[in-house]
């Protein structure tokens, strides 16, 4: 168990939800690694809580597919499989294609400079080598598209999917040679939307996501 695992109190959430969110984020960010056993007693001691909220959190994480129960061993962090990656990215691709389609139609010209600003911030983040910051700025670039699409339900679905994507996003940006590709892919997506070219935007977002799937799948294969 890594030292940074710590429950952060939230007066608006029940303790069981705080524990659940803490463990969930630790898995998504790789602080709890695939195959790592989740021992209720140790987790409870580490988080300063009783075993009950830990047990409830593990059950919820199992339902989300982030934890698996192994006979005679107990709970452990689920591995990243090719099927898991494909399943999530297939859904993401369909939703992102809809998002760029709507953004082409609805984005105000006065908002176009947001792409340039975010691409600049993203490039600056790449220089730091800070994976968490790079991931954040990648997310923020896509957020510009989601807001421009002007569909709150779509934005909600994509934001929910973003949590499941985080593991794969982090695996992708660990590959240093892929990071420069992200800049070019973001620029292509942005230019297509600024030109209100729906087919170009959809093609660009497909390439963007397919490259991620290919890279992560290759890492899984070893």
Q: What is the 3-state secondary structure (H, E, C) of 163-190?
A: HHHHHHHHHHHCCHHHHHHHHHHHHHHH
Taking the CA of residue 104 as centre, how many other CA atoms within 13 Å lie in the half-sphere pointing to its CB? 20
State how far the Cα of 172 lies from the Cα of 177, in Å rounded to an integer: 10
State how far the Cα of 56 lies from the Cα of 17, in Å rounded to an integer: 9
According to the model, what pLDDT value does residue 8 have? 57
Mean pLDDT per 10-residue segment, the chain (222 residues): 55 84 86 93 93 95 90 92 91 97 96 94 93 92 96 94 83 85 95 98 97 90 75
Question: If DSSP codes are grouped into helix, strand and coil, which group holds residue 34?
Answer: coil
Question: If DSSP codes are grouped into helix, strand and coil, which group holds residue 124?
Answer: helix
DSSP state of 69: E
Contact of 172 with 212, CB cutoff 8 Å = yes
State how far the Cα of 53 lies from the Cα of 43, in Å rounded to an integer: 10
pTM for the predicted model, two decimal places: 0.79
According to the model, what pLDDT value does residue 4 have? 52
Return the closest-CA partner of residue 40 out of 69, 79, 10. 69
State how far the Cα of 122 lies from the Cα of 117, in Å rounded to an integer: 9
State how far the Cα of 175 lies from the Cα of 177, in Å rounded to an integer: 6
DSSP state of 111: G
104: left (phi over 0), alpha (psi -120 to 50) or beta: alpha
Neighbours of 61 (CB within 10 A): 21
Both tokens assigned to 215: 């890279």
According to the model, what pLDDT value does residue 99 have? 98
According to the model, what pLDDT value does residue 6 have? 61
Give me the phi and psi of 70, to 5 degrees please.
-105, 125
């Amino acid at each position: 168990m890594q030292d940074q695992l710590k429950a952060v109190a939230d007066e608006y959430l029940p303790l069981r939800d705080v524990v659940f969110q803490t463990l969930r984020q630790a898995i998504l960010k790789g602080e709890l690694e695939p195959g790592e056993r989740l021992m209720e007693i140790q987790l409870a001691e580490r988080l300063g809580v009783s075993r009950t909220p830990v047990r409830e959190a593990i059950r919820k994480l199992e339902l989300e597919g982030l934890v698996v129960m192994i006979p005679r061993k107990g709970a452990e962090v689920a591995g990243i499989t090719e099927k898991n990656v494909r399943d999530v990215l297939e859904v993401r691709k369909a939703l992102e294609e809809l998002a760029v389609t709507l953004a082409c139609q609805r984005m105000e010209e006065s908002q176009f400079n947001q792409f340039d600003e975010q691409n600049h911030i993203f490039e600056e983040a790449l220089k730091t080598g800070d994976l968490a910051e790079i991931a954040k700025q990648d997310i923020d670039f896509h957020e510009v598209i989601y807001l421009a699409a002007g569909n709150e339900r779509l934005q909600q679905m994509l934001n929910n999917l973003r949590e499941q994507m985080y593991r794969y996003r982090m695996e992708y940006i660990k590959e240093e040679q892929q990071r420069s590709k992200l800049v070019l892919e973001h620029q292509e997506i942005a230019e297509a939307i600024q030109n209100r070219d729906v087919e170009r935007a959809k093609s660009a977002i497909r390439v963007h996501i397919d490259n991620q799937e290919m890279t992560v799948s290759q890492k899984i294969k070893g």
